[in-house]
Amino acid sequence: MLIDIHSHIDLYHAEQEEIKKIIRNATENNVKIILNCGVNIASNRKTLELAEKFSEVKACLGIYPIEALNLSEKEIEKEIEFIEKNKDKIAAIGEVGLDLFHASQETLEIQKRIFRKFLELAKKLNKPLIVHSRKAEAETIEVIEEFSYSKIIMHCFSGRMQLVERIIKNNWFLSIPCIIKSSSHFQKIAEITPLNQLFAETDSPYLHPDKKPKNEPSNVVVAYEKIAEIKKIPVLRVEKAIEKSYRNLFE
């Protein structure tokens, strides 16, 4: 069984039939679990709808750091209350974190304050936290380390190998996107990270392994295959290890 630990299929601006086709493609390729990560208020609701409609989809609710900057304190608190109210319907909190690629350094303290709220929520609910850290990798790690919480999945981590080693030491998880097919950075992460701390993701509809317009969960197999190749082990061993980590972390 394959698991796509991070996707955004709710962002497909398409008829319901296309989403059905995407999920059918996934199941036909043995992808039986698709975690869909909300990024804003509307996305969180669409994510819950998808999880109710399709058994393969597991809802993760959060506010993407750039989206959070556009919300008032009251709106953020209200959304946190909404997430807590729906705690029994969700698999994880995410996508949340810090971003200094799309936002300026001046916003960092605001971002940190918001991120801490979601860390507190994840810890309170005992849910895994799916973390975005683009161009703010060290700062993100520092904030998480304040909380002594290990149910952390670093999504598509682009930081230096020293930081990867720090993540490994903290017993967190690293999620490998299917662009590992051509990315030496993610190939190196897969090489140095213990198998029991790895997940695989597509970040659909982004990050297609062949740089095509729309990625989808069925392509997560590419990440599994490349991890197996790098570690010189059978793909089935990667499948079993990731499934075991998923069961331990999410169930």
Tell me, yes or no, if the pTM score tops 0.95: yes
**pLDDT at residue 14, rounded to an integer:** 59
- pLDDT tens string 175-189: 999 999 999 999 999
* 47 neighbors 61 (Cβ within 8 angstroms): yes
**pLDDT at residue 8, rounded to an integer:** 97
* 177 neighbors 207 (Cβ within 8 angstroms): yes
**The pLDDT of residue 248 is above 80:** yes
- pLDDT tens string 95-123: 999 999 999 999 999 999 999 999 999 99
Over range 204-230, report the average pLDDT.
97
C-alpha 171/C-alpha 188 separation (Å) is: 18
- Strands of the sheet containing 173-177, edge to edge, are 2-7, 31-37, 57-61, 90-97, 129-132, 152-155, 173-177, 198-201
- pLDDT tens string 39-94: 999 999 999 999 999 999 999 999 999 999 999 999 999 999 999 999 999 999 99
Amino acid at 7: S
DSSP at 251: -
**Domain boundary assignment for the chain:** 2-248
Query: CATH number of 2-248: 3.20.20.140, 3.40.640.10, 3.40.309.10, 3.40.50.300?
Result: 3.20.20.140
- What long-range pairs does 232-235 form, CB within 8 A, spacing at least 24? 233/195
Share of the chain above pLDDT 70, in %: 99
Amino acid at 119: L
